[in-house]
Structure 1
Amino acid sequence: MRYLTRQFAIGALRRGRGIEQFLGGIQLGGEAAIQWVAISPMDGQYRVSLHTVQDPDDDEFGDLPNLMSLDPVDQEYVGEGRELGASQDEAEAIALAERSTTAQPDRWVNNAVAGDEYMDFVRSRRDTAGAHGEQDQSRS
């Protein structure tokens, strides 16, 4: 995965391009879910949004905004996510996202790339489950 340096992330936002970061899987009300945070240029500022959607466990589906939202705030405007805040400054928007979520400074990607990370997440989860199954069989 090619992550953006802080300078490139700020540059992408200045050019009117969004950035995002896949945050991983969570359990929400007993249901498997995934989350990602996005920063999108909007109306002269940068909107920070958190997306919580159903985890389809599909390593061939990376179009995350089209997954079913599990956040009631997002259900009216599918794909918009829960707004965490906004800033007129690119660096402050990134800092806001990192303070408000588990986002890491060195894991930002261009808009629509978090889906690739989700697919890798599913594959690694399956590889880990398969390795545990093989270990269990070798013990019997």
Structure 2
Amino acid sequence: MRHLVVPFALNALRRGRSIEQFLGAAGTPEAPGIRWAELRPTAEGFALVVHLAQDIGGEGSYDLVEFPSFEREDGEEDFGCQIAVVDEPLAALTIAEKRLGAGRDRWVNQGMAGDEYRDYVRAGRPPCLSASQSEAECPET
């Protein structure tokens, strides 16, 4: 079983382990991309980070952290955008659901979101797997 049941996801976070979730398509037809969420324990609590990368992979290339990111308007590469930091792991799951359309039953251990991407490729790259594409935008700082 690839997906973590909620108690296992919460325990992973409490033990200092990150969890991930592949969110699906992003970008445009001219510049296709993908998104995935990461919940990571930090000194401040539990951070929700969304990653956006160019969709350059396939069935034989699915290590998401190796995919090139899109350049931001300032010319810098985007290595993830921290959306929120909360005190409790369950609150982190809830924020991910509300802000990114993440499914509570779709979290995987760190490094396993690439397997979800491979399934996405095999399914023909459907246009949207998550409920909210627009919420992935980083707030202006």
TM-score range normalised by the length of the shorter chain: 0.7 to 0.9
Q: Which is greater in Rg?
A: 1
Question: How far apart, CA to CA, are the structure 2 residues paired with 1:28 and 1:66?
Answer: 20
Question: How far apart, CA to CA, are the structure 2 residues paired with 1:58 and 1:51?
Answer: 18
Q: Which residue number corresponds to residue 32 of structure 2?
A: 32
Q: Which sections of structure 1, spanning at least 5 residues, go unmatched? A: 129-140
Moved over 6 A (4+): none
Q: Are the counterparts in 2 of residues 52 and 71 from structure 1 also a CA contact under 8 Å? A: no
Q: Which residue number corresponds to residue 95 of structure 2?
A: 96
Question: How far apart, CA to CA, are the structure 2 residues paired with 1:71 and 1:24?
Answer: 19
Question: How far apart, CA to CA, are the structure 2 residues paired with 1:71 and 1:88?
Answer: 31
Q: Which residue number corresponds to residue 82 of structure 2?
A: 83
- Amino acid paired to 1:5: V
- Are 2:111 and 1:112 aligned? yes
Give identity over the alignment, percent: 37
Question: How far apart, CA to CA, are the structure 2 residues paired with 1:41 and 1:12?
Answer: 9
Question: How far apart, CA to CA, are the structure 2 residues paired with 1:89 and 1:71?
Answer: 32
Question: How far apart, CA to CA, are the structure 1 residues paired with 2:29 and 2:70?
Answer: 10
Q: Are the counterparts in 2 of residues 21 and 37 from structure 1 also a CA contact under 8 Å? A: yes
Within 5 Å, give how 1:28-67 maps onto structure 2.
Answer: 28=28, 30-67=30-67
* TM-score computed with the length of structure 1 as normaliser: 0.79
Root mean square deviation, CA, Å: 2.3
Q: Are the counterparts in 2 of residues 20 and 112 from structure 1 also a CA contact under 8 Å? A: yes
Q: Which residue number corresponds to residue 131 of structure 1?
A: none
Task: Decide whether aligned partners of structure 1 residues 82 and 71 sit closer, same or farther in structure 2, where only a CA change above 3 A counts.
Answer: farther
Question: How far apart, CA to CA, are the structure 2 residues paired with 1:111 and 1:77?
Answer: 22
Question: How far apart, CA to CA, are the structure 1 residues paired with 2:115 and 2:29?
Answer: 26
- Are 2:10 and 1:10 aligned? yes
SS state of the match for residue 98, structure 2? helix
Return the structure number with greater helix share: 1
Task: Decide whether aligned partners of structure 1 residues 71 and 52 sit closer, same or farther in structure 2, where only a CA change above 3 A counts.
Answer: farther
- CA deviations 1:67-118 (Å, max 9, x no partner) are 1112629x75764x11101112110111111111021111111111000111
